């Protein structure tokens, strides 16, 4: 391998790479071949302490800069990230197994968008002036929270690091980021780029490890806010620990989202939406529309076209830009997905295509479609986080809305129909945070992203994220005398 995947050291703390070989070794595996491409070490308590202390010191200085000055650093980082998109995308492909065709357009580019967006609005982050009776008035100051902890999942390592760091830093906070132990490489590059762009040492630190490092990071009293992208069970633990310290949280968790295809929809577009919402990143996307409700009148036509187009997936070397479908991130995740496929078969789902492990080194599985899935089947209830699409039938609008909402999750929802009134009427009744009409899984930085119910708390991206990385100080100003009862 000519491309260097072994970083200089495991962690990035106080503006430089840092190693402590006393930490548990962490092997990084290229999911397409199973080869070990780097060996890192989990953060020891000493590394974690240095990262948090460094972040605290950097934050004091950073918070005193104007929004304009902070924004300039973030926008410079966005430019560097775009200039290096190709190399960053290759690294992301090694880290996750996702095809280069995807990483070139959805990872560092999405991270750069976040840095540019929050860099651009940093100068405009202000409080307000409130005029009161008798000439009194009040004003609010938008203040940073302090040191934020970021915890990432393994599906979008660069994007997650930037979606958390950009709004946090724009508001004057510092961050200690812990990537997923499965994909630890890309966040280190984000840290390098921020330093190059002029961020002070210690402002954005990366520490490696699994829950054993994430737990103490969240619980540390010096941490003011925790932002997690991960599963619901982890979310519950992290939220509870943050609550002990009365810390702010953002929780971007899992989903089992509905995608509803009405009988007047363009079948071609709806099939595209179903492919994007189930097979992009080999199905490892939190907002995926994995319960595809298709009106009975068009179900067979939809399934036929879906099978035809799924057969055209180019499954091969992820570094070849022609490849459109890569491996699962790990053998563990592959086994979880195979287990769900087995349950789908056993509980009576009709396998339309796929369903098998692909016989070659690495964690490969076919894109899989089940039809005749019913609401009670395991594959219709639990998040699989793999390329398993379930088609469920429906006849009536009211009925499909009730069934779509009959889940603890509430991350996303989509509707395909040519009837615009119906589209808005249905979306209004769906319990989900991020919704789509005649599209699926778009996530531009200008638009709030996040879930309701068990899928999360708070929003990432857009102006909405500012509220989650800052707090308001209110100042009452009396212009006359102070009156007291005695
Ligand atoms: N809503 C969203 O924005 C997204 C949600 N996800 C969700 O993430 C999940 C898949 O990612 P995974 O990495 O498997 O999730 P996970 O929940 O296992 O891990 C997420 C992160 O939390 C850390 N962690 C685990 N236990 C912890 C603890 N006790 N204390 C502190 N940190 C801890 C992990 O090391 C990792 O960095 C899926 O359920 C998916 O739906 C993934 C991408 C986006």
Residue-by-residue DSSP string for 286-332: TT---EEEEEGGGHHHHHHHHHHHHTT--BS-TTSTT--B---S-HH
pLDDT in tens, 329-381: 999 999 999 999 999 999 999 999 999 999 999 999 999 999 999 999 999 99
> Do 402 and 347 share a domain, yes or no?
yes
The DSSP symbol for 197 reads: T
For residue 50 and ligand 1, the question of a CB distance below 6 A is answered with no
In a domain, 478, yes or no: no
CATH of the domain at 219: 3.40.605.10
Q: How many CA atoms are closer than 13 Å to the CA of 24, on its beta-carbon side? A: 10
Query: How far away, in angstroms, is 454 Cα from ligand 1 center?
Result: 14
Residue 467: which H helix or E strand, with range? helix 464-468
Q: Which residues share a beta bridge with 141?
A: 473
Span 254-288, pLDDT tens digits: 999 999 999 999 999 999 999 999 999 999 999 99
Question: Could you tell me where the DSSP H helices lie in 146-210?
Answer: 157-170, 186-196
Q: What is the pLDDT of residue 116?
A: 98
Does residue 74 form part of some domain? yes
Residues 6+ apart with CB under 8 A from 187: 12, 152, 157, 158, 161, 177, 179, 206
Is residue 336 within 8 A of residue 385, CB to CB? The reply is yes
Q: Is any ligand 1 atom within 6 A of the Cβ of residue 218?
A: yes
In contact, 267 and 278? CB cutoff 8 Å:
no
84 CA distance to ligand 1 middle (Å): 27
Distance 97 CA to ligand 1 centre (A): 18
Find where tokens 């009148």 sit.
297
pLDDT bucket at 462, cuts 50 / 70 / 90: very high
Tokens for 38, please give them: 């780097």
- In a domain? residue 481: no
The yes-or-no verdict on residue 91 having pLDDT over 60 is yes
In a domain, 173, yes or no: yes
pLDDT digits (tens, 9 = 90+) for 295-325: 999 999 999 999 999 999 999 999 999 999 9
Both 249 and 262 in a single domain? Answer: no
Q: What is the pLDDT of residues 206-232, one digit of tens each?
A: 999 999 999 999 999 999 999 999 999
Q: Mean pLDDT over all residues of the chain?
A: 98
* Catalytic (active site) residue 308: no
What is the Å distance from ligand 1's center to 396 Cα?
Answer: 36
Instruction: Give the model confidence (pLDDT) of 134-191 as tens digits.
Output: 999 999 999 999 999 999 999 999 999 999 999 999 999 999 999 999 999 999 999 9
Q: Is 306 in the pocket of ligand 1 (CB under 6 A)?
A: no
Same domain for 291 and 398, yes or no, is yes
Residue 1 pLDDT greater than 60, yes or no: no
Same domain, 414 and 359: yes
Q: Percent of the chain having pLDDT more than 90?
A: 99
Do 172 and 244 fall into the same domain? yes
- Split into its structural domains, the chain has a count of 2
pLDDT at site 54: 98
CB burial string 58-96: b at 16+ within 10 A, e below: bbeebbeeebeebbbbbbbbbebbbebbeebbbbbbbbb
Evaluate if pTM is beyond 0.90. Answer: yes
Structure ipTM over 0.90, yes or no: yes
CA distance 106 to 59: 30
Claim to verify: residue 185 and residue 301 sit in the same structural domain: no
Instruction: Find the catalytic residue in 92, 252, 366, 383.
Output: 252
| 70 contacts 52 by C-beta, under 8 angstroms | no
| pLDDT surpassing 60 at residue 473 | yes
Note whether 84 and 153 are same-domain residues. yes
| Overall average pLDDT of the 453-468 stretch | 98
Measured CA angle at 223 (ends 59, 243), to 5 deg:
145
98 lines ligand 1 (CB under 6 A): no
- Neighbour tally for 468: CB within 10 Å: 22
- Residue 183: domain span: 11-254+455-473
Is the minimum distance from the CB of 411 to ligand 1 under 6 angstroms? yes
Q: Residues in the chain, how many?
A: 486
Judge whether 450 lies within some domain: no
């Amino acid at each position: 391998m000519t491309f260097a995947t072994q970083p200089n050291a495991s962690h990035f703390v106080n503006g430089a790479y840092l190693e402590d070989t006393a930490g548990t070794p962490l092997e990084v595996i290229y999911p397409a071949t199973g080869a070990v491409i780097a060996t890192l070490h989990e953060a020891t308590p000493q590394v974690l302490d240095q990262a948090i202390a460094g972040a605290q010191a950097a934050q004091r200085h950073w918070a005193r800069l104007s929004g304009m000055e902070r924004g300039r650093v973030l926008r410079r980082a966005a430019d560097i990230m775009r200039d290096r998109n190709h190399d960053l995308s290759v690294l992301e492909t090694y880290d996750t197994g996702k095809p280069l065709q995807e990483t070139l357009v959805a990872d560092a580019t999405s991270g750069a968008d976040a840095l540019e967006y929050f860099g651009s609005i940093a100068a405009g982050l202000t409080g307000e002036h409130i005029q009161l009776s008798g000439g009194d008035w009040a004003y609010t100051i938008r203040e940073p929270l302090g040191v934020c902890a970021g915890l990432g999942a393994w599906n979008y390592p660069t994007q997650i690091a930037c979606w958390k760091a950009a709004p946090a830093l724009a508001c004057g906070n510092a961050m200690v980021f812990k990537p997923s132990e499965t994909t630890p490489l890309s966040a280190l590059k984000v840290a390098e780029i921020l330093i190059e762009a002029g961020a002070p040492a210690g402002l954005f630190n990366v520490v490696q490890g699994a829950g054993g490092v994430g737990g103490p990071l969240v619980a540390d009293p010096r941490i003011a806010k925790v932002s997690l992208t991960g599963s619901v069970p982890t979310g519950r633990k992290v939220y509870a620990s943050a609550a002990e310290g009365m810390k702010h949280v953002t929780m971007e968790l899992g989903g089992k989202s509905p995608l509803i295809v009405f009988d007047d929809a363009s079948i071609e577009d709806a099939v595209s939406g179903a492919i994007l919402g189930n097979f992009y990143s080999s199905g490892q996307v939190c907002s995926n529309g994995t319960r595809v409700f298709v009106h009975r009148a068009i179900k067979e036509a939809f399934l036929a076209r879906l099978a035809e187009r799924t057969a055209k997936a180019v499954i091969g070397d992820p570094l070849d830009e022609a490849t459109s479908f890569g491996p699962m991130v790990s053998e563990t995740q592959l086994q979880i997905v195979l287990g769900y496929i087995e349950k789908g078969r056993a509980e009576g789902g009709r396998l339309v295509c796929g369903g098998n492990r692909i016989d070659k080194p690495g964690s490969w599985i076919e894109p899989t479609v089940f039809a005749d899935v019913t609401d009670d089947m395991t594959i219709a209830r639990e998040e699989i986080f793999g390329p398993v699409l379930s088609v469920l039938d429906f006849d009536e609008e009211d009925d499909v809305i009730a069934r779509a909402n009959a889940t603890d999750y509430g991350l996303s929802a989509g509707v395909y129909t040519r009837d615009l009134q119906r589209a808005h009427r249905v979306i209004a009744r769906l319990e989900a945070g991020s919704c789509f009409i005649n599209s699926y899984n778009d996530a531009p930085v200008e638009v709030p992203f996040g879930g309701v119910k068990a899928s999360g708390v708070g929003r990432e991206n857009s102006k909405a994220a500012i509220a989650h990385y800052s707090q308001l100080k209110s100042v009452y100003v009396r212009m006359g005398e102070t009156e007291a009862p005695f």
